[in-house]
Amino acid sequence: MVSGGWYSALNIGGLSLVLAVSLLLFWWVKDELNYDRFHSDTDRIYRINSHFGTGSEEDTFPYTPAPLAVSAVKSIPGVENAVRVDYYPFHTFRVKDKTFTESGDIAYVDENFLDVFDGFKIVFGDAKSLFSSPNSIVLTEKLAKKYFGKTNAIGEVLTNVGKNRIFVVSGILADIPDVSTLKFGMFVPMSVKKAGYHPQGDWKVLDQNWDEYSFETYLKLTPGTDPKIIGGKLTAMKNKARKANKDGSDFNLQGLRELHLYDADTADGQASGVQQVKILGLVAILLLSIGCINYVNLTTARASRRSKEVGVRKVVGAGIRQLAQQLLVESVLMLTLSLIFAIVFIQILLPFYYEITGKTGKFVWSDPQTWMVMLGTLLVAFMLSGIYPALLVSRFNPIQSLRGQSGKAGGVRLRKVLVVTQFSLTTALIIGTFVIASQLHFIQERDPGYNREHVFMFDARQFAPVFKRTLAGESSISAISASSDTPVHVDNATGGLDWDGKEANRTTIFAQASIDKDFIPNFGIKLIVGQNFTGTKADSMHYILNETAAKQTGYKDAIGKRFKREDVEGIIIGVVKDFSMASVREPVRPLVLFSNPENNNTIHVHTTGRLAPMALAAAKKLWKKLYPDYPFEYSFVDDVYNRQYKAEQQTGQLFNFFSGVAVFISCLGLLGLASYTAEQRTKEIGIRKVLGASVLNITSLLSVDFLKLVVIAIIIACPVAWLVMDLWLKDFAYRIEIRWWVFAYAGVLSILTALLTISFQSIKAALMNPVKSLKSD
């Protein structure tokens, strides 16, 4: 009924596919766990985080004052080196007759940057003179090729459009690895930042400004230095420098190797990155398990069909060792073919892997860990499906074998356990896929508290008033506003706050944004009490808080109450309903809205889906008139919102793919076992048909035993899957509840999939000619 080639194809194809996809997933997990480890002394490099407040008002972020690095090296024993990184703002560069706009890819760095981060390799240039001049600039190979068409661009010139600053390329670095948290393509010396600094208050120069928390500061400690002690000394040093003007903050150090997977404010060691890696690592193990189980099931089932062959060979004098050796050699050949096809599958799947993970690093075949996983899996498969059947079959009683009585050689109980295990794992993956999809749908459909549809934004810089005034007359534009931040992500914060009744030693961090009078109504943000800004000079003395901020003040009725932000004394004129201004992983922060037209450089244009092209064309036309040397860069608010959940979207895609593979492999196993069962019961089926059994009767007979196993698997999988996915959802401040229907859908899908798979072979067996069945030996 079923040829040996069919079983071999199922075995080799199933195991090789599982090996391929599991190895790709393990490769992704390895990348995530190996971030920033390519620097020497990585374990001695730390980032300084600033911590404010306590309890519900607690906040931690990775920005520090500029003097901290300089003072730490001079004054604190155990600090071997220190370097600062600050993001270079949106700028356009000209190279001959071409212009290039960069945003987020440029950083100010101290001249000793590569002394600390020595994993960034210099391809061209002298390490000792990379930042010898304020006009020096260092590029990666990728950016050098983009600007100059070649990687060796030493001595080439870039002009910073708008600032008329000339930069000369002094060094070229190898492209920054995927596994780096510092991903920049262009490095500008910190001396440029210092030269452009405008003194504020009592601080005369950048290296003495303890008020501005805008630098990422990294320390390299001497071996054996306790980072907790260094954090305390940094706090004491800052308090001494500020004297009576203490800000209530303290500093703690976070290891460079932890930055990718752990947030700055993750005190309990649990972060979304870590959970995602753990869950997908578990998925890889589950897939390998499913693949091995499938292979073992089919191999042990196939072994019992060889009982007569073994009996004949024993009768003619073959010994146990010879029989076992033959079966072991066959198993090794099968596994070797699986390995070869796994390598082929990996090459085929690599483009898809790069697409869904966003990785660009090459799959390294020479990596020992890759072969450890591959050969380890094959060794387990060999032990379970090679050695066990070989010993079992070689010990068959030849007389029973020749009579077709192989006893327990078929390993019926073992196969039932393996089928239950296999479908338990598969059903758990299906449940995980449903939960992740539901959470992603919840994120996308959840009302953030503002209207984000068909709104595009751009940085208008000093011409923001002109853009707003001119574009307001366009028929394709329904509304327009200006602000310092987008509602999707309010990045600025302040601790310089005061109000009546605030405790003297209490430090509270509020997010802050400057907006115009049109911002709140245009975005549909609900004003609960009070009034909006009026667009007059009086707005500079007025504040609007969100609900969370109003609760923090303790005012029962906040309207008209005193409120001070930094040096500006004013009153609260309104309270708006809380809206999401960050990822749904984070609870809504307290927010103060104020009016400072000089800060309102971000233009938000509201249009419709049909009129969006016309609105964009109008904005671009005006841009070209005002900024002829700059390309028009814009983004839609909805896209920015969705990009916040790129990691979750990738997880969902990975789960969908790997769950599909798991279901496919499980079905291959069931199909093979159903074929084997039908073959074993060929005469029984023939007799039943002669006695009047229908196709439905026989199909049910062959299917019911397998379906029982699948139902048991579902019962086992549900609580396990719930525990794992509930752990994943805990990282979200706003999350779905795992409903009963998720388990019901997963169970029904597993049963239907199994039923379709089994029925295919069962119906085929039931339709066989009973005369032919009864004639078979």
Same domain, 691 and 649: yes
Does residue 429 share a domain with residue 481? no
**Is the domain of 62 the same as that of 205?**
yes
Q: H-helix or E-strand containing 216? A: strand 213-221
Would you say residue 639 lies in a domain? no
DSSP sequence for 157-172: EEEEETTTEEEEEEEE
Mark whether 472 and 346 lie in a shared domain: no
Of 101-110, 186-195, 384-393, 407-416, highest mean pLDDT: 186-195
Residue 633 lies in a domain: no
| Mean pLDDT over the full length of the chain | 81
User: Could you tell me if 59 and 121 lie in one domain?
Assistant: yes
72-81, 154-163, 740-749, range with the lowest pLDDT:
154-163
pLDDT tens digits, 38-64: 999 999 999 999 887 665 567 788 888
Q: Does the residue 214 lie in any domain?
A: yes
Instruction: Tell me whether residue 439 is in a domain.
Output: yes
Assigned domain for 461 exists: yes
Predicted confidence band at 219 (pLDDT cuts at 50, 70, 90)?
A: very high
Q: What is the pLDDT of residues 708-739, one digit of tens each?
A: 888 898 999 899 989 888 888 887 777 888 88
One domain, residues 429 and 516: no
User: Within this chain, do residues 412 and 491 fall inside the same structural domain, yes or no?
Assistant: no
Q: What is the mean pLDDT of residues 699-714?
A: 81
Decide: 678 and 761 in contact? Cβ < 8 Å. yes
Q: How high is the pLDDT of residue 170? A: 93
* Mean pLDDT along residues 330-334: 79
Question: Which is it for strands 510-514 and 591-594: parallel, antiparallel or unpaired?
Answer: parallel
Q: How far apart are CA 354 and CA 361, in angstroms?
A: 9
Does residue 213 surpass a pLDDT of 50? yes
Asked, for residue 752, whether it belongs to a domain, the answer is: yes
pLDDT band at 270 (very low <50, low <70, confident <90, very high): very low
- pLDDT for position 695: 65
The verdict on 412 and 309 lying in the same domain is yes
Chain segment 481-530, per-residue pLDDT in tens: 999 988 888 877 777 788 998 877 677 778 899 999 999 999 999 999 99
pLDDT digits (tens, 9 = 90+) for 525-547: 999 999 999 999 999 999 999 99
What pLDDT does residue 122 have?
Answer: 93
**Of the ranges 223-232, 354-363, 403-412, 750-759, which is most confident?**
223-232
Compare 445 and 226 and report the one with higher pLDDT. Answer: 226
The domain total for the chain is 3
The residue out of 577, 606, 635 marking a domain boundary is 606
| Helices assigned H by DSSP within 168-271 | 190-195, 227-242
Could you tell me which residues come within 8 angstroms of residue 112 by beta carbon, excluding any fewer than 6 positions away? 81, 83
- Give the number of other CB atoms < 10 A from CB of residue 543: 27
Q: Please list, in sequence order, all residues whose beta carbon lies within 8 angstroms of the beta carbon of residue 204, skipping any fewer than 6 positions away.
A: none
> Which of 235, 258, 281 is the endpoint of a domain?
258
- Domain boundaries, position 580: 455-606
The confidence score (pLDDT) of residue 140 equals 94
Give the C-alpha distances (Å, rounded to integers) separating 173 from 38, 119, 122, 126, 155: 14, 10, 4, 11, 14
Please state the φ and ψ torsions of residue 503, each to the nearest 5 degrees.
Answer: -65, 145
Asked whether residue 596 falls in the same domain as residue 681, the answer is no
Check if the beta carbon of residue 284 is closer than 8 Å to that of residue 22: yes
Higher pLDDT, 652 or 303: 652
Residue where a domain stops, chosen among 258, 286, 304: 258
Mean pLDDT of 124-142: 89
- Residue 774 confidence (pLDDT): 54
Give the per-residue pLDDT at 278.
82
> Does the global pTM surpass 0.95?
no
- Position 23: which residue type? L
Please report the pLDDT score of residue 678 as a whole number.
Answer: 63
Q: What are phi and psi of 218, to 5 degrees?
A: -115, 135
Neighbours of 347 (CB within 10 A): 11
What is the average pLDDT across 375-388?
69
| Share above pLDDT 90 across residues of the chain, in percent, rounded to a whole number | 27
Span 75-100, average pLDDT: 84
**Does one domain contain both 12 and 129?**
no
Pairing of strands 213-221, 64-65: antiparallel
Instruction: Tell me which DSSP letter residue 719 carries.
Output: H
Whose tokens are 């932890």? That residue is: 258
pLDDT band at 269 (very low <50, low <70, confident <90, very high): very low
Radius of gyration of the chain (CA): 33
**Would the pLDDT of 550 be above 90?**
yes
**Integer Cα distance of 67 and 498 in angstroms:** 26
pLDDT at 576 over 90: yes
State how far the Cα of 564 lies from the Cα of 556, in Å rounded to an integer. Answer: 18
DSSP classification of residue 559:
T
Are residue 58 and residue 187 in the same domain, yes or no?
A: yes
pLDDT band at 315 (very low <50, low <70, confident <90, very high): low
With a cut of 80, say whether residue 178 has pLDDT above it.
Answer: yes
The pLDDT-based confidence of 113 (bands split at 50, 70, 90) is very high
Nearest to 17 by CA among 279, 278, 423, 295: 295
**What pLDDT, on a 0 to 100 scale, did the predictor assign at position 90?**
60
Q: Which residues pair with 593 in a beta bridge?
A: 513, 544
Q: State how far the Cα of 574 lies from the Cα of 222, in Å rounded to an integer.
A: 52
pLDDT of 33 strictly over 70:
yes
pLDDT (tens digit per residue) in 577-597? 998 877 777 778 899 999 999
- The confidence score (pLDDT) of residue 360 equals 75
pLDDT at 235 over 50: yes
The per-residue pLDDT for range 636-649, each reduced to its tens digit, is 998 888 877 777 77
pLDDT tier at 706 (50, 70, 90 boundaries)?
confident
Alpha carbons within 13 A on the beta-carbon side of 688: 19
Digit-coded pLDDT (tens) for 115-124: 999 999 999 9
Flag whether pLDDT at 194 surpasses 70: yes
Pairwise pLDDT comparison (345 vs 774), residue with the higher score? 345
Measured distance CA(529)–CA(556) in Å, rounded: 12
Residue 486, classed as helix, strand or coil, is strand
Among 670, 701, 669, which Cα is nearest to 765's?
701
User: Could you tell me if residue 770 is inside a domain?
Assistant: yes
Note whether residue 126 is domain-resident: yes
Lowest mean pLDDT among 199-203, 250-254, 363-367, 385-389: 199-203
| 467 in the same domain as 525 | yes
Residue 229 above 90 pLDDT? yes
Residue with tokens 């600032």: 163
